[in-house]
Amino acid sequence: MNRRIALLFATFLCLVTLILVYLAQDDASVPPLNRVAAWMPSSWDASRARSSWEAKGALIHEISPVWYQLDESGTGRINPYSGAGDPTLLAQAHAQHALVIPLINNYYTEVGFDASPVSAVIHDPARRTAHVETLVNEVVSQGYDGIDIDYESLNGPADRDPFSRFVEELAAALHAQGKLLCVTVHPKTRAPGPWAGPQAQDWVRIGAAADRVRVMTYAYHGRAGDPGPIAPLWWMDEVMGFATSVISPNKVYVGIHFYGHDWGGETVTSLTWESAQTLRQSHEITSQWERKARWRRPVAEPWFTYVDSGGAPHEVWYANGRSVRARLTLVGKHGLGGIAIWRLGGEDPGNWSAIADMLSQGGL
């Protein structure tokens, strides 16, 4: 009799354990592996971005519309972009069990993101507290699932501790309301980072406080430099290796670019996959696939060159389904939480085929 009671008690304990494990896995604050997050423009190229969401939303677990900007006054006020709080998008996303985590960025000028308003807020305890309250109130009142902080190009070591304090205080306030915090960060392969932007971001403290850390693993070659691969695979691999050495891997999302750049003369033009194909076809050019030839390490990104009507040479690099498929392997290799796509609109349909294939196989 005692043996039967002991057996029943052991069975009961096993059932309780299984239930607790299931509940822990279902907790949105602990993301399961292999999630797809996507940023969606709302005040520019909004129509194409929305079309992409409408067509492929079933493959997206977390949608982050670009809906807010920190006010340039440095008071901590936030300003909505066009379309912010769209109730139709919110209802669509929640109907298909996707999280809505809007992005807020800092003020953008002709020379880049302005760190001054962010610094003014995070260095002043009263302003920092007020900004946290403003963000939490917006998330709760609008019915969002969280917020994505994309405060870029901060002032290096001077902003490092204050920014970490801000993240920690915002995370605590959001968690008290059952909401999530994402923090979007500059890429780096070691601490503190190669320039002021990443140096201001303490990945250890940010990773401990936030629920998701989305790493912008693109713009290795960008608008301000020479032409080349936007996100060479070997470099992304190194960034993810460092990220997962200091942050719980299932919190880390690797940024995957869907866009391209055209370097020509003194100008650099941003392209979608669609516009890159139009350009390539108009010049009757076949893209090349760069692996190791020029950089001697795996790049895995298509490119082509052409000469414009004025005789100026151009070099174009962009993303397609093949490059995306190659980058998805990083999720499994590093045990990541998933991917963060920049951005929806005008992308190669093959990108989604690659994502769908990986999801159907049980993981990225």
Give 33-82 as a 3 state SS string.
CCEEEEEECCCCCHHHHHHHHHHHHHHCCEEEEEEEEECCCCCCCEEECC
Burial class (CB in 10 A: 0-12, 13-18, 19+), 364: buried
What's the CA gap between 55 and 67, in Å, rounded? 21
Size (the chain), residues: 364
Q: How far is CA 88 from the centre of its chain?
A: 23
pLDDT given for residue 81 in this prediction:
96
Backbone angles phi, psi at 338, to 5 degrees: 160, -150
- Is the model's pLDDT at 361 over the cut of 90? no
Instruction: Give the least confident one: 5-14, 159-168, 276-285.
Output: 5-14
Q: Quick check: bond before 125 cis, omega within 30?
A: no
For the residues 219-245, what does the mean pLDDT come to?
95
Higher model confidence: residue 18 or residue 177? 177
313: how many CB neighbours lie within 10 A of its CB?
A: 12
Q: Residue 97 carries which side chain, given as an amino acid letter? A: H
Write down the pTM of the prediction: 0.90
Placement of tokens 């980058």 in the chain:
327
Give me 135's structure tokens: 């963000």
Burial class (CB in 10 A: 0-12, 13-18, 19+), 281: exposed
pLDDT given for residue 32 in this prediction:
47
pLDDT tens, 151-193?
A: 999 999 999 999 999 999 999 999 999 999 999 999 999 999 9
- pLDDT band for position 295 (cuts 50, 70, 90): low
pLDDT given for residue 33 in this prediction:
57
What's the CA gap between 211 and 167, in Å, rounded? 11
pLDDT tens, 92-113?
A: 999 999 999 999 999 887 778 9
For the residues 298-314, what does the mean pLDDT come to?
94
* H helix count then E strand count, the chain: 12, 17
Instruction: Give the least confident one: 90-94, 296-300, 330-334.
Output: 296-300
DSSP-based three-state secondary structure for 174: helix
- Is the model's pLDDT at 326 over the cut of 90? yes
Q: Catalogue all structural domains in the chain, each as residue range(s) with its CATH number.
A: 29-258+320-360 (3.20.20.80)
Q: Residue 27 to residues 145, 147, 171: CA-CA distances in angstroms?
A: 13, 17, 16
- Is the model's pLDDT at 23 over the cut of 50? no
For the residues 213-221, what does the mean pLDDT come to?
97
What's the CA gap between 74 and 69, in Å, rounded? 12
Q: Residue 298 to residues 190, 316, 351: CA-CA distances in angstroms?
A: 20, 18, 19
What's the CA gap between 216 and 103, in Å, rounded? 14
DSSP labels, 254-305: EEEE-EEEEEETTEEEEEEHHHHHHHHHHTT---EEESSTTTSS---EEEEE
Q: Which residues pair with 40 in a beta bridge?
A: 65
For the residues 63-91, what does the mean pLDDT come to?
97
pLDDT given for residue 109 in this prediction:
78
- pLDDT band for position 224 (cuts 50, 70, 90): confident
Backbone angles phi, psi at 231, to 5 degrees: -150, 80
What's the CA gap between 348 and 337, in Å, rounded? 23
- Is the model's pLDDT at 293 over the cut of 60? no
Mean pLDDT score across all residues of the chain: 90
What's the CA gap between 134 and 112, in Å, rounded? 25
pLDDT given for residue 194 in this prediction:
97
